[in-house]
Amino acid sequence: MFRGSLVALITPMQADGSLDLKAFAEFVDWQVTEGTQGLIPVGTTGESPTLSHDEHHEVVEHCIAAARGRVPVIAGTGSNSTSEAVALTRHAKEAGADAALVVTPYYNKPTQEGLYRHYMAIADAVDLPILIYNIPGRSVIDMSVETMARLAKHPNIVGVKDATANLTRPLHTRATCGPEFCQLSGEDHTAIAYMAAGGHGCISVTANIAPRLCRQMHDAWAAGRVQEAIAIQDRLLPVHDAMFCETSPGPVKYAASLLGKALDLCRLPMAPVAESTKQRVREAMTSAGLLN
């Protein structure tokens, strides 16, 4: 079971737009030492849509090497092509990942039956734990609870990253998929509320720049120190808001640059964030005690 504070990792890049794998390895090590409980490379936050297959493989491999078995690595392996998702998932297993995060196929808008067959094909092809990544805001489609319950019967399909921000979902998912089906919020704002509704943790964007605070919030919640957890949540709220005031990962990459962890650089079609966004990010990080 994956639980607690997990991070959807950024992918640092050099000034020429190539991968900065040295900075990435250092960033992964910092995440682990700061308390992050799980690493998710090459997801949306890691700019997977603009990485070549070779780059995708490199990032996964470097993440696993830098993690050194200290925390689980859940590699992003989704695609809107089932054969491509199978190939990426197969590579993740061969590289030593602990699980794969597979996003619902974007753009081609499959039916619920198409979604079912897509995930079953991947789970049948690769013996690796799979988390479904349900994010209707980016994929357009929304996997129903009923479809997820069908998929949960497969031994390799072990959980979901739920980015619907619908707090009835974890209740119904728990009822239909069972309490052992791993439920992770994909929305920083809902982390505590999601766990209160039966979730097990959060795959966070904010944890890229506030890993220790995010871990402390999850630890407080797990220990029953509810008011402490809520106080940290309140402290991080302006940061969450700032991370999504423009399309992610633009703001979080800028925030990471303020900490000296990566250049403020995303690949096109992601444009540099606006000056107003930079100001908002700086102010939020300062108010949360992340910048002096």
The rounded distance, in Å, linking the Cα atoms of 5 and 220 is: 12
Calculate helix-pair angle for 226-243, 250-258, nearest 10 degrees.
Answer: 110
Cα 196 to the center of its chain, rounded Å: 20
Q: Which of 3, 31, 12 is nearest to 206 (CA)?
A: 31
Calculate helix-pair angle for 275-287, 250-258, nearest 10 degrees.
Answer: 60
> Is residue 161 among the annotated active site residues?
yes
> Is residue 119 among the annotated active site residues?
no
Phi, psi of 132 (to 5 degrees): -75, 135
Catalytic residue among 22, 106, 107, 161: 161
Catalytic residue among 107, 109, 116, 133: 133
Active site residues: 133, 161
